[in-house]
Chain A
Amino acid sequence: MKAISSNKKTELDTTFRSRVIEHLGGENLGACFQCGTCSASCPIQLIDERYNPRKIIRRALLGSKDVLSEDFIWLCVNCYSCYERCPQDVRVTEVINAIKNLAVEDGIVHPSLVKLIEVLKERGTTYEVGKLENQKRERLGLPIIDKKSDDIKKILDKK
């Protein structure tokens, strides 16, 4: 099946659809009947119309693999409004997250994630608790934090 529109001709790949369904979170993709409740409930869609959860799901259903390289897929804020209201239990938030994960698998990683991974592997938390931070804590009578965790490094590095 081909997608023919004014500026691009793309090959639609039904294995992409299966990839999404087989990925953790994407299981219920097939139940979607495109009612539009998700888009109607999405706060991001109202600000940036390029981000349309229903359309993203549609592209996954049709096997439009190039959705992985769209920059807007990273805009889902994980508010779960779509998930909550979807009448077919598609679990939209999780399907879109599965699409993000597939993008990463294909080597497309949003820059904000790259630094995050580094930091979490190194110390196990997103913010550093250094000397200054511990001084502030002590002044307030809060326990100091001096332990780092390498559990995340082990978990991410595992094959």
Chain B
Amino acid sequence: MKKHPRTGVYICECGHNIGGVVDVKKVTEYAKTLPPVVVARYNKYTCSELGQSSIAKDIRDHKLERVVVASCSPSLHEHIFQKVLEGSGLNPYLFEMVNIREQCSWVHHNEPEKATEKAKDLVRAAVMRATLLEPLEKPTKSVEKSALVIGGGIGGISAALYLANNGVKTYLVEKEPSIGGHMAMLDKTFPTLDCSLCILSPRMVEVRQNPNIELLANSDVVEISGSVGDFRVKIKKRPRFVDPDKCVACGACSAKCPTKVKDDFNFGFSERKAIYIPFPQAVPNCYLIDKNNCLYLNKGVCRICEKTCERKAIDFNQKEEVIELKAGAIVVATGFDLFDASEKKQYGYKCYPNVISNLDFERLINASGPTDGKLKRPSDGKSPQSVAFIQCVGSRDKNTASYCSRVCCMITVKQALLIKEKYPETEVFVYYTDMRTPGKNFEEFYEKARSKGVVFIRGKPGEITESAESRLRILAEDIDSGILLDNEIDLVVLAAGLRPPKELRDLAQKLHASLSPDGFLAEAHPKLHPTETNIDGVFLAGCVQFPKDIPDTVATAGNAAAGVLNLLNKDRIEAESITAWVDIKKCSGCGSCILVCPYDAISLDEDGKAVVDEIVCKGCGSCVATCLSGAIQQRHYTDKQLISQLKALLKDGKV
């Protein structure tokens, strides 16, 4: 008779979560009948102090060699129990956790008898697998003392400054030619009505001046490999055709440039030249040439900018640069895209000239915008006598995005107040479904708007139609009074919602990070780990996780930076122990494993056999599943261990 290792089994009731469906007493009695089991208990909360110490005591008293806990998902508490083993002198990998909650009691809550039988089967399989577990050592790896921040809006800027001021070499990558993000487009911020660029600009300058920050603007992240502590990133820097070391942003080139293009920064309400600076306070404070519209780059003629520039800063030979860097941790702060309101055809965006979006409005009311801050109707440049805001455009709408974009109510209240401040005679209406103004000083801000005469109408319009002189007709029920309202308005502002940035899907794939069902980047835990992702070493900040306002973006950026510092301040971090290894006798050198490894952990040695870098390997198992020769095995999940588990599961109760 084979001598089994002495095994302890602990069945958890988890309050009612498991105990309310599975008969833990029966499962415990059953466990006692399994040959390797010398002690079996059930408790209400095994992860508690009491539960943990009872395991520790049993390890001592019963000289246990294996421990099996049947409770919730290992992703929650496996590490806690592994620590209990370690504390009692047992190797933590001699521990097996069985999920009888998410995979049993929670999904079979309508069939308690069958759930109990299933729990028994799962415990039996785990006990038999545990007999084949082997002790493993936890390797450690060094940590690259640098960080990569992707996205240069207020979130990315805050995270980068926080890190840099703590001595961390930080790479800040931004796709646009200047950092600043959406905040640089705003006029004022709620609820203080601070001038947006006035509070942002000093931080942008700090970024430029900080010796620990290397700013890579006009750049894209092309490739990410490696893992926590040693990410390897490839960045592509697109050419500006202007030398930033020479350019002083005097603007002489732009004045002479003959090509006019619609200015994207002002959403097409004004024009810029083919050589331009996105906005005066841009960082880097350097001009750039729009290669799609430059006469020289497309047709080989002109070059007036080159002739005009006294500092000889124009360089048409500038090429794309590929930069390879290493980072110990990554912060994703790529912000949001505004919902394209033309998807809601009934509101006439991009169809009727006097229907604009909330961001369009920010540019129009901005003193450095296309109309010098004067509110003008796009159709005739006249000042509107009446303005109507429509809330929840694209948000809280199962046809487009069912979530609430959180900030649009406050943005509208702000914009309504700005109108009343500059044009007290202009009528302002807000058509809303709910006014959401939680937050410090937000309710007072809303009250201010009401007392200044902004008319809030609870009632969403069905459609907007155009009438004479490009005025807009809005029909909506004023629900609070039950009166149907027919309004003719000079300018309509659609409060468009916030959507995940369109490049996010691609970036998430490069990071192996998950997206939430709403399309935003998924946090590791919505309550307790709001700035971590499911990938070690990858953090998130700002709207890339979900719409939020500036203070929340800055707060999450700080939290993410703290997470990075936590990591980078360690001399060594634990590497994965459940790594893959190659039996070179079986390896044919086909290289399939190399192709599937997401971490670039496998290479071919001088004999043409695959070898796994165990420090880099994250134990995902892709290579193990791919290997056609069965030459790669994964520690803690060897074929033998898995097969014994399957056999026990299928043996119908007999072991």
Contacts and interface: CB of A to CB of B under 8 A. Distances in A.
Nearest to B458: A36
A45 B484 contact: yes
A49 interface: yes
A37 B474 CA distance: 12
Contact of B479 (A36, A41, A45, A88): A36
Given A49-B484, A87-B397, A40 B346 contact: no
Interface stretch (B66-74, B361-369, B459-467, B552-560): B459-467
B433 A54 contact: no
Contacts of B463: 40-41, 85
Nearest to B400: A87
B476 interface: yes
Central interface residue in B463, B477, B484, by most chain A CB within 10 Å: B477
Contact of A35 (B346, B433, B482): B433
B392 interface: yes
Contact of A39 (B392, B398, B399, B484): B484
A33 B462 contact: no
Interface string A25-62: 00000000111111111100110010010110000000
A36 B460 contact: yes
A36 B477 CA distance: 6
Contacts, number: 60
B484 A85 contact: no
Interface in A75-131: 81, 85, 87-89
A49 B398 CA distance: 28
B398 A88 contact: yes
Q: How large is the interface on B (under 10, 10 to 19, 20 to 34, 35 or more residues)?
A: 20 to 34
Nearest to A37: B460
A46 B462 CA distance: 12
B396 interface: yes
A33 B392 CA distance: 13
A36 B398 contact: no
Contacts of B434: 33
Given A35-B433, A85-B346, A40 B398 contact: no
Interface of B: 346, 392, 396-399, 433-434, 458-463, 475-477, 479, 482, 484
20 contacts: A33-B434, A34-B433, A35-B433, A36-B458, A36-B459, A36-B460, A36-B477, A37-B461, A39-B459, A40-B461, A40-B463, A40-B476, A41-B462, A46-B475, A52-B477, A54-B477, A87-B396, A87-B460, A88-B396, A89-B398
Given A46-B475, A87-B396, 4 more contacts: A36-B479, A39-B484, A45-B484, A89-B399
Interface of A: 33-42, 45-46, 49, 52, 54-55, 81, 85, 87-89
